[in-house]
């Protein structure tokens, strides 16, 4: 028994008396648990101000040098293509395909970190953001910190790009404009109270849940005027309308023989589905 306890202590390293007592038992008092949390909090603060902070500072310094190298290469008047070719050869030697790496920032990051995953993408994104809007007098460490950190920069849309919510809003606006006068799938339905758009809604639409009956008919079994649900359906409708429009335009460009072949294929598919 003594040898087991001694082994556990050696393997765990410097552990507190509270943690040592917990290793001996699967129960712990409230006081001991709270004391352990205090010790963990203190250890985390020491780590944040010590190893973690130093690690981040070193990372930001490397990214700063990547950023500077990018500026130096981009600003070259002669020999730039030859240098980029040399970088591509280095990437090939590391087992990466330079033809699939879209920009110089990502190439520099992958050469530096030997990474092709999410980490490299995040670091390259930091450099590209810094190239766009980092003040000349500001250090990379300050810039990244002010932006909320590397992960926050990774989630931020490119400068000038629309956010996902803005994209959805545009889709909703497009669908609303088109569906107001669109040919209905089923028209002249009697709107019961559950299908009436809310008086305070910004849309003249509601959502309906349709059940397919055994005889092939359908029945509306639930209605919703929740704005988020209506917006989601409108956004989906906008995408489908855009796809249908593209298909129609592509079809119009086909010659008569190609259109005839498509008609035969569609007819055969319809017969199989019947």
Query: Taking the complete model, does pTM exceed 0.75, yes or no?
Result: no
Angle at 219 between CA 216 and CA 221, to 5 degrees: 145
Contact between 176 and 204 (Cβ < 8 Å):
no
CA-to-CA distance for 173 and 3, rounded, in angstroms?
Answer: 73
Judged against a pLDDT cut of 70, whether residue 46 lies above it is answered with yes
Higher-pLDDT residue of 216 and 47 is 216
Backbone angles phi, psi at 260, to 5 degrees: -65, -40
Tokens encoding 210: 């349709």
Angle (CA) 9-15-20 rounded to 5° is: 65
CB 109 within 8 A of CB 96: no
Q: Is 34 left (phi over 0), alpha (psi -120 to 50) or beta?
A: alpha
Does residue 149 come out as left (phi exceeding 0), alpha (psi in the -120 to 50 range) or beta? left
3-state secondary structure of 79: coil
pLDDT tens per residue, range 71-129 = 899 888 888 888 889 999 999 998 999 888 888 999 999 999 887 788 888 999 999 98
pLDDT of residue 105: 92
What is d(CA 259, CA 252) in angstroms, rounded to the nearest whole number? 9
* DSSP conformational letter for 52: I
pLDDT per residue over 194-251, tens digit each?
A: 888 777 677 888 888 999 999 989 888 998 888 888 888 888 888 888 887 888 787 7
For residue 28, what are its two tokens?
A: 């712990």
- Is there a contact between 83 and 116 (Cβ–Cβ < 8 Å)? no
Tell me how far CA of residue 46 lies from CA of 40, 54, 57, in angstroms. Answer: 10, 12, 16
The answer to whether the CB of 212 falls within 8 A of the CB of 236 is no
Cβ atoms of 238 and 171 within 8 Å: the answer is yes
Contact 201, 225 (CB under 8 A): yes
Render pLDDT for 117-159 as a digit per residue (tens, 0 to 9): 888 889 999 999 898 888 888 899 999 988 888 888 888 776 6
């Amino acid at each position: 028994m003594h040898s087991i306890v001694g082994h556990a202590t050696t393997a765990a390293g410097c552990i507190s008396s509270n943690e040592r007592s917990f290793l001996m038992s699967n129960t712990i008092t409230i006081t001991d648990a709270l004391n352990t949390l205090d010790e963990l909090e203190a250890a985390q603060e020491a780590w944040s101000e010590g190893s973690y902070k130093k690690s981040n500072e070193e990372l930001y310094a490397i990214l700063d040098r990547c950023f500077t190298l990018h500026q130096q290469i981009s600003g070259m008047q002669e020999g730039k293509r030859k240098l980029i070719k040399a970088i591509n050869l280095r990437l090939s030697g590391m087992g990466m395909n330079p033809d699939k790496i879209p920009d110089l920032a990502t190439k520099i990051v992958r050469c530096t970190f030997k990474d092709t995953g999410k980490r490299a993408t995040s670091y390259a994104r930091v450099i590209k953001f810094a190239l766009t809007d980092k003040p000349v007098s500001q250090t990379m460490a300050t810039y990244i910190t002010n932006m909320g950190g590397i992960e926050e920069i990774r989630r931020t849309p490119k400068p000038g790009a629309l956010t996902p919510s803005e994209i959805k809003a545009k889709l909703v606006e497009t669908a609303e404009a088109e569906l107001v006068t669109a040919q209905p799938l089923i028209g002249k339905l009697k709107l019961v109270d559950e299908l009436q758009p809310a008086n305070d809604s910004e849309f003249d639409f509601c959502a309906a849940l349709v059940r397919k009956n055994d005889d092939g008919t359908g029945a509306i079994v639930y209605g919703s005027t929740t704005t988020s649900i209506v917006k989601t359906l409108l956004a989906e409708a906008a995408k489908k309308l855009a796809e249908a429009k593209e298909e129609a335009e592509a079809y119009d460009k086909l010659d008569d023989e190609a259109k005839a072949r498509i008609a035969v294929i569609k007819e055969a598919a319809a017969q199989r589905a019947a």
